[in-house]
Structure 1
């Protein structure tokens, strides 16, 4: 928040100075994520666009945008002001500062709260040269149902009933005015889906049947296409006027492999709600290797439904908290170095919990954008039945990264996918954070989760002898010695993961 306030002051100064080599443009921030099919060799794609009120679209360099915003994802779909600075070498102007313009000069919230009824509409659109209709209208309408495995049920459960999909509906099939090649042209030898044209023509085809302005504007639009796009499914937002309402609409663009399975569809809807990818801590550039969060690895450890294919696992407590779904009473924030002993940490999936479900450990001396989260996960229910096991899961968060939340792995080297024992902290295990910043001890498992302690750094003999507890180390006290999980420094504490050849496809 201090960073965003500072950026606001800098931008105000720029507005006042009116320098010739800087320009400030105001508009809506559109973020879109492209996710390849399971097993594909391609990596993820990401687009950031500033859309002005007259409809002009300014593509933003993603790396510049992240650095300029501090927490770019917190601004998804919001009105922002962007300072462009002319590059000295005459290349495209550089993105220097991005600040919220909907509460200009005030600190921006660190989360985009989503609550209440979030109505989605499904638009089934087919290319003019592709006659196949893979699924009937009834299938897409049933996806929004409230039975286990359907989307309304899923998002109610994940949000602790903070949101619902009441009123969501499906429409189509509609025939687009052009063949697939018009919407997915080949650019520099690679297919490149024109998301704008797909959105414009698909919504135009459905406009006679759909009231996009209902309830002040529907939350989102799930577009289902009857052919492959560019090898990707896409999710995020589209900032445009529909039925007289100008806003950033949560949007997804789905080929058949995506809409045939609710796991990737829920992943794209998560992007529509503004959520970025999660990751593990192996240091490669593959964001699809954390199966504890559907916003990372949607496929592995997913349960299966005979009608809806692979179903979605839950999102992490970090992502739940970003959307405002973790109640204050269920969350505890503790500075590293402080003891929080013998607490009941209920599993994140437990609806109606009266205990903690999220612990945040802040790092004194580091920016507020960097911290750790601790949560409990247990197998069970429709969505979490195939988890790798019951465990405490720890994430390191840096909101300036393209993938803010990384699951911690005590194995050396870390596994390529975080469904290994090193990523699961279980009863009688002790984990020490990098730099001996703090420790997490899992004391025992019970029906609703785990009993855990968060303790200060490991103490030396001298500090133990002089402490008020007279030789007692709170995190080491036990009738049975705790197996110690090794400490491993993060591969890239600031910025993005170090590129490495990963297994792609979420």
Structure 2
């Protein structure tokens, strides 16, 4: 195993603005957040050798490993004053992310976003999920309670996600999919003016492609449910971070009062196409036209195909 399987320049391209436009994590977060989150201040500091053997590190829990690495580099970290620290390992150790972990540097303790990526996590599909944990996101679910069950979401990627491996240069490896509408709403990236608030019945209602904010119209339809829950309808197109998907489709989620979202009607939900209808809890949803970057739906209405 090489001591340095990838050069620091590779990780600059993957994680910082040096890789802008090259399909790395910089592009992922800018595009998924509609420009509200960027990695402009991120830096890569190079490879460092820890004063421990591999066998010694393997006996430790995951966050102790992360702490060992950070403390070995504490003088530089103190100068940089980062909000988060991503540790890159040159072997297969463990890959994970945490939104807030205490670390003492130069006698001062504060909480940091903590991400650790071993050799199997050096591609956008996995790194995006672990960074998502660092930003406070949990794994996504499918109805009724299947963790990692949302094939349309980065926070289920690798297990259930529609991922792909493009012939890019640099070759970052496996990518996709993007993030679901409930997550983008929770993060504040989808503003209220891009949400169509629907009563228990509405339509025909337009929803534009989730990754096409340049198209006028709502990015998500929100429908009230029982007990403080609500439902979202989004439209995903087979391109960009979603090009591993089998085709364009409307996607439905139930968002519980706790904020947890569930892919409906369940794991690996079908690709819903124009002219189809289906039942989700008490909702009857009919799909109308899928027209480029927009879709039209009816919710709890008599058959309305002729009105699209």
TM-score by length of 1: 0.55
SS of match in other structure, 2:46: strand
* Structure 2 residues without counterparts, runs of 5 or longer: none
The equivalent of 2:235 in structure 1 is 376
Decide whether aligned partners of structure 1 residues 284 and 454 sit closer, same or farther in structure 2, where only a CA change above 3 A counts.
Answer: closer
Which of 185, 198, 205 matches 2:72?
205
Aligned position for 1:166: 40
User: Could you say what secondary structure the match of 2:193 adopts?
Assistant: helix
- Corresponding position of 2:155: 295
Counterparts of residues 26-175 of structure 1 (less than 5 Å): 132-143=3-14, 144=16, 145-175=19-49
Alignment of structure 1 residues 274-423 onto 2, 5 Å: 274-281=136-143, 283=144, 285=146, 287-298=147-158, 300-305=161-166, 306=168, 307-335=171-199, 338-364=200-226, 366=227, 368=228, 370-381=229-240, 383-398=241-256, 400=258, 404-409=260-265, 418=268, 422-423=269-270
Q: Is the 8 A contact 2:236 2:248 kept in 1?
A: yes
| Matching residue within 258, 261, 266 for 2:121 | 258
Aligned to 1:496: none
Query: Is contact 1:378–1:391 with CA below 8 Å preserved after alignment?
Result: yes
Question: Quick one: distance in 2 between partners of 1:276 and 1:182?
Answer: 30
Change (3 A) 1:351 1:333: closer
Out of 30, 52, 57, the position equivalent to 1:183 is 57
Q: List structure 1 segments (4+ residues) > 6 angstroms apart after TM superposition.
A: none
Tell me the distance in 2 between the aligned counterparts of 1:333 and 1:477: 19
Q: Distance in 2 between matches of 1:304 and 1:131?
A: 24
User: Where do 5+ consecutive residues of structure 1 fail to align?
Assistant: 1-129, 186-192, 456-473, 481-506
1:341·1:452 contact (CA, 8 Å) conserved in 2?
yes
Q: In 1, are the aligned partners of 2:298 and 2:304 still within 8 Å (CA)?
A: no
Give distance in 2, aligned partners of 1:161 and 1:298. 25
Greater Rg by CA: 1
**Match of 2:91?**
227
Shift of 1:304: 1.6
Q: Secondary structure at the match of 1:153?
A: helix
Among candidates 269, 288, 309, match of residue 131 of structure 2: 269
Task: Compare the two structures and name the one with the higher helix fraction.
Answer: 2
**CA offsets 1:55-111 (integer angstroms, 9 cap, x no match):** xxxxxxxxxxxxxxxxxxxxxxxxxxxxxxxxxxxxxxxxxxxxxxxxxxxxxxxxx
Q: Measure, in 1, the Cα distance between the counterparts of 2:77 and 2:278.
A: 53
1:400/1:351 Cα in 2 relative to 1: closer, same or farther (>3 Å)?
closer
CA RMSD of aligned residues (A): 2.4
The alpha-carbon distance between structure 1 residues 333 and 213, as it changes in their structure 2 partners (threshold 3 A), is: farther
Residue 168 of structure 1: CA displacement?
A: 0.9
Once the 2 structures are TM-superposed, how far is the Cα of residue 181 of structure 1 from its aligned partner?
2.3
C-alpha change, 1:269 and 1:245, in structure 2 (3 Å) is farther
Q: 1:438 to 1:241 in 2, by over 3 A?
A: same
Shift of 1:163: 1.1
| TM-aligned CA deviation for residue 288 of structure 1 | 2.7
